[in-house]
């Protein structure tokens, strides 16, 4: 039975290369969002506003899971 | 005669070599995995901030402290001071409208010393051209993200007192 991984392994190297680059770009975007969340949480905490830190932590954790989840779609090594 | 075998460096050292010319081993896959590590570091940082926001750490000195007498500070004048048991620098300002204000003398951007610009009603951070309202401590212009932390000021029998931040 075919699955996405087998189809990916048989794809042209140009396609897998584009996919790898796309995953890296999305990961960088997710990290940029995490940096913004960390900055906002820190500034609000220093301003004695506690309501931002916990939602920022939860959102940052979800983005981390998304970042790790993208590794699943990373093309395998060419053998 | 056999050639001398050198021990292989560990994997992490081959992925992040000391010399630039050895860096060809870092592939896009490895870079992508490293991005996940950076993402984990961001979560750790956010977790640290969340814990610190609810953690009651060491507070500043509590109580009332005399800074100077009213006659020592003319209108538009300033005086730097520190509270006993604290290294935080503060600035006492005698505003042109006759009121006194006391703020932390550290810019909320990168902790440069701030100064009152007499006659303008504004406090200046000369490092990155940040400006605060001397009456409220709010940011007027520039990169500072937060207002200046203020101390409560009282004038009694010709003496200026401040309340500690605790």
Least confident interval from B57-61, B84-88, B159-163: B57-61
pLDDT over 90 (residue B136): yes
Interface residue A27 vs chain B (CB under 8 A): yes
Cβ pair B92, B78 in contact under 8 A: yes
If you average pLDDT over residues B65-72, what whole number do you get? 90
Q: Identify the pLDDT of residue A78.
A: 59
Rounded to two decimals, the ipTM of the complex is: 0.88
Backbone phi, psi, residue B65, to 5°: -125, 135
Whole-model pTM: value is 0.70
What is the distance between the alpha carbons of residues B79 and B122, in angstroms, rounded to a whole number?
15
Q: What would the pLDDT profile of A13-63 be if each residue is shown by its tens digit?
A: 888 888 889 999 999 999 999 999 999 999 899 888 888 999 999 999 999
What is the distance between the alpha carbons of residues A38 and A57, in angstroms, rounded to a whole number?
8
Among A53, A68, A70, the strongest candidate for a mutation testing the B interface, having the largest count of B CBs within 10 A, is A53
Q: Please give the share of chain B, as a percent, with pLDDT higher than 70.
A: 90
Interface residue B154 vs chain A (CB under 8 A): no
CB pair distance less than 8 Å for A24 and B32: yes
Q: How many residues does this entry show for chain B?
A: 166
Q: Identify the pLDDT of residue B121.
A: 92
Q: Identify the pLDDT of residue A48.
A: 81
Interface residue B28 vs chain A (CB under 8 A): yes
Cβ pair A52, A44 in contact under 8 A: yes
Among B29, B30, B31, B42, the strongest candidate for a mutation testing the A interface, having the largest count of A CBs within 10 A, is B42
Can you give the three-state secondary structure of chain B, one letter per residue? CCCCCCCCCCHHHHHCCCCHHHHHHCCHHHHHHHHHHHHHHHHHHHHHHHHHHHCCCCCCCCCEEEEEEHHHCCCCCEEEEECCCCCCEEEEEECCCCCEEEEECECCCCCCECEEECCCCEEEECCCCEEEECCCCCEEECCCCCCCCEECEEEECCEEEEECCC
What is the distance between the alpha carbons of residues A33 and A13, in angstroms, rounded to a whole number?
30
């Amino acid at each position: 039975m075919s699955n996405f991984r087998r189809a990916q392994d048989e794809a042209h190297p140009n396609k897998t290369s584009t996919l790898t680059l796309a995953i890296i770009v999305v990961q960088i975007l997710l990290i940029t969002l995490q940096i913004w969340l960390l900055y906002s949480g820190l500034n609000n905490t220093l301003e004695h506003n506690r309501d931002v830190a916990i939602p920022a932590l939860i959102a940052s954790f979800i983005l981390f899971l998304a970042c790790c989840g993208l590794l699943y779609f990373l093309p395998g090594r060419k053998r | 005669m056999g050639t001398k075998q050198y021990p292989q460096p560990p994997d992490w050292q081959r992925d992040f070599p000391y010399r630039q010319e050895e860096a060809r081993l870092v592939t896009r896959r490895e870079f992508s995995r490293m991005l996940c590590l950076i993402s984990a570091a961001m979560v750790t940082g956010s977790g640290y901030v969340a814990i610190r926001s609810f953690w009651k750490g060491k507070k500043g000195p509590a109580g009332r402290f005399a800074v100077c007498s009213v006659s020592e500070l003319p209108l538009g004048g300033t005086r730097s001071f520190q509270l006993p048991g604290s290294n935080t620098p503060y600035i006492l300002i005698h505003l042109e409208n006759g009121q006194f204000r006391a703020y932390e003398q550290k810019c909320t951007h990168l902790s440069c010393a701030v100064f009152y610009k007499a006659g303008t009603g504004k406090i200046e951070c000369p490092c990155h051209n940040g400006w605060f309202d001397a009456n409220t401590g709010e940011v007027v212009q520039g990169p500072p993200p937060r207002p200046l932390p203020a101390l409560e000021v009282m004038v009694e029998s010709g003496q200026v007192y401040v309340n500690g931040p605790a």
